[in-house]
Chains A and B, each alone.
Chain A
């Protein structure tokens, strides 16, 4: 992938590098939503311990939710970058050792099955 040449052209690598379809909204924004939700909920806990009504001081709910959202974005980025690094390492390994990854020969059932006549 980096150097260019025939070794890039392993069929497995070609398959692994086809672009993925657009993921649904919930999957893309799972981390920001989750951590934002945790932040928002923690403001309710704070009010519970401080003997205040649940929605008192809505600034706190908004601020903690916002901090959670941003934290989720950065956590998402960290997760994606870890996965990307792992994928790159595996792809490069395939490219370096193509003999360990032979493309299997496709056979038809007509070549495998033996002749049979329906007599018992």
Chain B
């Protein structure tokens, strides 16, 4: 407990980032400061600077001379990811952590986030007219029929959305200096693909394409500072699924014991092992009860700046100069498509992932041309009432994955 009190005393002083010259010399710019929670601090958080309105104004080029990325970073600018098997209570824990540390919460991928376009039109309405192989699927479809041949492309589409969300989280962190708590992230998505392949829901060809896509996308992402893993045994997962009684989950042929065991095994043997080389990992057994205060206490003791250049720990966060961070921020905020295009892997050997040309024509006409607000970028659709004749620029809206 003494260590805890020391940490509390240290937090009472306001933390200043080191002057930029020492940052240029390769030292971390923020002094050894620990994440400060609302409860222990007892008073309002002091923000170093106004957040950059990245959703309205782009951050490019000359602006990097006037606005340094690290000038907004303080001890709470961390990326935390909450992971675990289904029904572990990830959303509750993640929201509680986000509220306690005054960070932004980013929800798990859901059909609403993926399929409602910027004008508020729900693209799932097109499903009746779309060809069978190209229908817009959600997790409910997986739970109803996991052996469907479309599950491979569904999982890859979900990966695409999670990648987009992760990039948005990094952009939020860099532009505002506010930390982000994510409910499951793109880096652990492969455990679901492995479990699905082991259970026979998708073929090994799909898994091979997925692995190649993931391999191409990962080098450009900063790994999180902290991973909070909520551990419950498979029997408890099944019990909780029955208890919360969501209509599609109960009696689903997908959530078998074997699938959940394979999920847990891959999480622990593969994901946690590899991510612990970089991030701090805290594992909690939440089968009996979930006490968020204990998690907050443990997190407030973590020192993210103690690692130097000899180890891989925190290497994604302590090796870059100011210019490199500015360039990162530009890419994540304004040139996100360059990162998303890493997903375009030329693999044509898996027939489940290929669609017929006639179907693609129908899909293109419905999805990209006739659906409201889909033909042009946001802000430039005359059919939705935008006046376009004198409008230059990006359209003024950032695809927002933080609004739920």
Q: Do A and B come from one complex?
A: yes
Question: What is the CA–CA distance of A56 and B391 in the complex, to the nearest angstrom?
Answer: 6
Asked whether A53 lies within 8 Å of B392 as measured between CB atoms, the reply is no
Q: Which of B167-214 contact A (CB under 8 A)?
A: none
Contact with B along A28-41 (1 / 0, CB 8 A): 00000000000000
Question: What is the CA–CA distance of A95 and B380 in the complex, to the nearest angstrom?
Answer: 66
Asked whether A55 lies within 8 Å of B380 as measured between CB atoms, the reply is no
A91 within 8 A of B: no
Looking at the assembled complex, report how far the CB atom of B54 sits from the nearest CB atom of chain A, in whole angstroms: 20
B382 within 8 A of A: yes
Residues of A within 8 A of B1 (CB): none
Looking at the assembled complex, report how far the CB atom of A18 sits from the nearest CB atom of chain B, in whole angstroms: 51
State which size class the interface on B falls in.
Answer: under 10
Residues of B within 8 A of A60 (CB): 392
Residues of A within 8 A of B390 (CB): 57-59
Asked whether B389 lies within 8 Å of A51 as measured between CB atoms, the reply is no
Chain B's closest residue to A56 (CB) is: B388
Chain B's closest residue to A58 (CB) is: B389
B377 within 8 A of A: yes
A52 within 8 A of B: yes
Question: What is the CA–CA distance of A53 and B390 in the complex, to the nearest angstrom?
Answer: 12
Q: Which of B302-347 contact A (CB under 8 A)?
A: none
B376 within 8 A of A: yes
A50 within 8 A of B: yes
Chain B's closest residue to A50 (CB) is: B377
Looking at the assembled complex, report how far the CB atom of A76 sits from the nearest CB atom of chain B, in whole angstroms: 30
Residues of A within 8 A of B391 (CB): 56-57
> A-side binding surface: helix, strand, loop or mixed?
loop
Asked whether B380 lies within 8 Å of A52 as measured between CB atoms, the reply is yes
Looking at the assembled complex, report how far the CB atom of A56 sits from the nearest CB atom of chain B, in whole angstroms: 4
Question: What is the CA–CA distance of A57 and B386 in the complex, to the nearest angstrom?
Answer: 12
Contact with B along A58-73 (1 / 0, CB 8 A): 1110000000000000
Chain B's closest residue to A52 (CB) is: B380
Residues of B within 8 A of A51 (CB): 376-377, 380
Residues of A within 8 A of B392 (CB): 57, 59-60
Q: Which of A1-58 contact B (CB under 8 A)?
A: 50-53, 55-58
Question: What is the CA–CA distance of A52 and B382 in the complex, to the nearest angstrom?
Answer: 10
Residues of A within 8 A of B376 (CB): 51-53, 56
Q: Which of A91-120 contact B (CB under 8 A)?
A: none
8 Å CB contact of B377 from A52, A55, A58, A59: A52
Question: What is the CA–CA distance of A58 and B390 in the complex, to the nearest angstrom?
Answer: 6
Looking at the assembled complex, report how far the CB atom of B340 sits from the nearest CB atom of chain A, in whole angstroms: 14
Looking at the assembled complex, report how far the CB atom of B385 sits from the nearest CB atom of chain A, in whole angstroms: 13
Residues of B within 8 A of A55 (CB): 388-389
Question: What is the CA–CA distance of A49 and B388 in the complex, to the nearest angstrom?
Answer: 16
Instruction: Give the one of A51, A52, A57, A60 with max B CB within 10 A.
Output: A52
Residues of A within 8 A of B380 (CB): 51-53, 56
Question: What is the CA–CA distance of A50 and B392 in the complex, to the nearest angstrom?
Answer: 11
Question: What is the CA–CA distance of A76 and B220 in the complex, to the nearest angstrom?
Answer: 49
Question: What is the CA–CA distance of A50 and B376 in the complex, to the nearest angstrom?
Answer: 9
Looking at the assembled complex, report how far the CB atom of A74 sits from the nearest CB atom of chain B, in whole angstroms: 27
Q: Which of B373-404 contact A (CB under 8 A)?
A: 376-377, 380, 382, 388-392
Question: What is the CA–CA distance of A26 and B388 in the complex, to the nearest angstrom?
Answer: 33
Residues of A within 8 A of B382 (CB): 53
Question: What is the CA–CA distance of A113 and B391 in the complex, to the nearest angstrom?
Answer: 80
Looking at the assembled complex, report how far the CB atom of B353 sits from the nearest CB atom of chain A, in whole angstroms: 25
Question: What is the CA–CA distance of A56 and B378 in the complex, to the nearest angstrom?
Answer: 13
Looking at the assembled complex, report how far the CB atom of A61 sits from the nearest CB atom of chain B, in whole angstroms: 10
Q: A-B pairs with the 10 shortest C-beta distances? A: A57-B392, A56-B388, A51-B377, A52-B380, A53-B388, A51-B376, A58-B389, A52-B376, A56-B380, A53-B376
19 contacts between A and B (CB under 8 A): A50-B377, A51-B376, A51-B377, A51-B380, A52-B388, A53-B376, A53-B380, A55-B389, A56-B380, A56-B388, A56-B389, A56-B391, A57-B388, A57-B391, A57-B392, A58-B389, A59-B390, A59-B392, A60-B392
Extra contacts, 17 of them, besides A56-B388, A58-B389, A60-B392 (Cβ < 8 A), are A50-B377, A51-B376, A51-B377, A52-B380, A53-B376, A53-B380, A53-B382, A53-B388, A55-B388, A55-B389, A56-B376, A56-B389, A56-B391, A57-B388, A57-B391, A58-B390, A59-B390
